[in-house]
C-alpha cells in the first residue's frame, strides 16, 4: 500500500521558515549563505524580537521543493546560534505584510478620489503632507499588490512592502520551547544570561 502525498516532494511551492536564534550579530549572513549555495531566492525576510528576552525570530519565505526545504532546515539547525528552525505551509500559519504607498495629495482618476479607494480597500491614510499622502495597508501580498495596481493610475510616487510577519497556528509557546531546549542534554546553547 502506498501513501499518496498532497504534493509531490519535488514540486516547488512556497514555505515559511521560522528560525529562533540567540540575539547575536552575523547570523543573517550565515543563513543567507545556505540559500545562496542552493541558488534559492529569498522572497521575504523579516527579523524581530520575540517574547523571550535575547531571542530573535527570522521569518523567511522561499519557494522550493519539500525535499530541499527539509534539507535546508537540517542545515539551519546546525548553526551554533540557532535555537530552533520550523517550516510551515500557508495553512499552518497566520501571516500579514504591511505596505506603504506615496501618492500625490490631490490625485483624481475618473472622478474618483483616493480617499474612496482607500476606505474600500481596508487601508488607511497614514500621513497627509503638502504635496502627497502616505497610505498604509496590511494584508497578504495579493491584497497589497491589488491596492498597488489600483493606485498606479493616480500617479503612484513610491511603494514599499515589508517582509512577512507570521505566527504558527500551533499552541507551542516559545518560552516553553526554549526551557525544554535548555534542559536538553543534546544542546549546549544557553540563553540564561540574557
> Whole-angstrom Cα distance, residue 125 to residue 134?
6
Distances (CA, A) of 164 to 95, 104, 141, 149, 151: 7, 27, 9, 20, 22
- Looking at residue 175, what is its pLDDT? 75
Give dist(CA 44, CA 24) in Å, integer. 21
Residue 36 has pLDDT above 50, yes or no: yes
Per-residue pLDDT, averaged over 151-179, amounts to: 88
Whether 86 has a pLDDT exceeding 60, the answer reads yes
So what's the pLDDT on residue 113?
76
Model confidence, pTM:
0.78
Q: Which residues pair with 166 in a beta bridge?
A: 95
Lowest mean pLDDT among 96-105, 126-135, 170-179: 170-179
95-163 is classed in which CATH architecture?
2-Layer Sandwich (3.30)
Q: What is the percent of the chain where pLDDT is above 70? A: 88
Q: What pLDDT, on the 0 to 100 scale, is given for residue 154?
A: 87
| Domain locations along the chain | 13-88+167-183, 95-163
Which pLDDT value is given to residue 108? 63
More confident residue, 4 or 41: 41
Tens of pLDDT, residue by residue over 63-73, are: 999 999 999 99
Q: Give me the pLDDT at residue 107, please.
A: 72
Angle of the 27-37 helix axis to the 66-77 helix axis, nearest 10: 150
**pLDDT bucket at 8, cuts 50 / 70 / 90:** low
**DSSP symbol at 12:** -
Domain topology for 13-88+167-183: Alpha-Beta Plaits (3.30.70)
**Closest of 139, 100, 140, 99 to residue 14, by C-alpha:** 140
Domains 13-88+167-183 and 95-163 share a fold: yes
pLDDT in tens, 101-119: 999 987 765 556 788 889 8
pLDDT of res. 127: 93
Q: What is the pLDDT of residue 174?
A: 79
Amino acid at each position: 500500500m502506498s501513501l499518496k502525498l498532497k504534493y509531490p516532494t519535488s514540486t516547488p511551492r512556497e514555505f515559511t521558515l521560522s528560525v529562533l536564534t540567540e540575539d547575536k550579530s552575523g547570523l543573517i549572513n550565515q543563513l543567507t549563505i545556505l540559500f545562496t549555495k542552493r541558488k534559492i531566492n529569498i522572497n521575504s525576510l523579516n527579523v524581530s524580537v520575540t517574547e523571550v528576552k535575547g531571542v530573535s525570530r527570522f521569518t523567511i519565505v522561499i519557494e522550493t521543493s519539500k525535499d530541499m526545504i527539509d534539507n535546508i532546515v537540517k542545515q539551519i539547525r546546525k548553526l551554533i546560534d540557532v535555537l530552533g528552525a520550523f517550516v510551515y505551509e500557508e495553512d499552518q500559519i497566520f501571516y500579514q505584510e504591511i505596505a506603504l504607498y506615496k501618492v500625490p495629495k490631490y490625485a483624481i482618476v475618473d472622478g474618483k478620489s483616493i480617499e474612496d479607494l482607500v476606505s474600500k480597500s481596508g487601508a488607511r491614510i497614514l500621513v497627509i503632507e503638502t504635496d502627497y499622502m502616505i497610505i498604509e495597508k496590511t494584508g497578504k501580498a495579493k491584497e497589497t499588490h491589488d491596492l498597488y495596481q489600483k493606485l498606479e493610475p493616480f500617479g503612484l510616487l513610491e511603494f514599499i512592502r515589508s517582509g512577512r510577519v507570521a505566527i504558527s497556528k500551533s499552541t507551542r509557546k516559545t518560552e516553553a520551547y526554549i526551557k525544554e531546549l535548555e534542559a536538553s542534554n543534546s544542546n549546549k546553547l544557553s540563553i540564561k544570561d540574557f
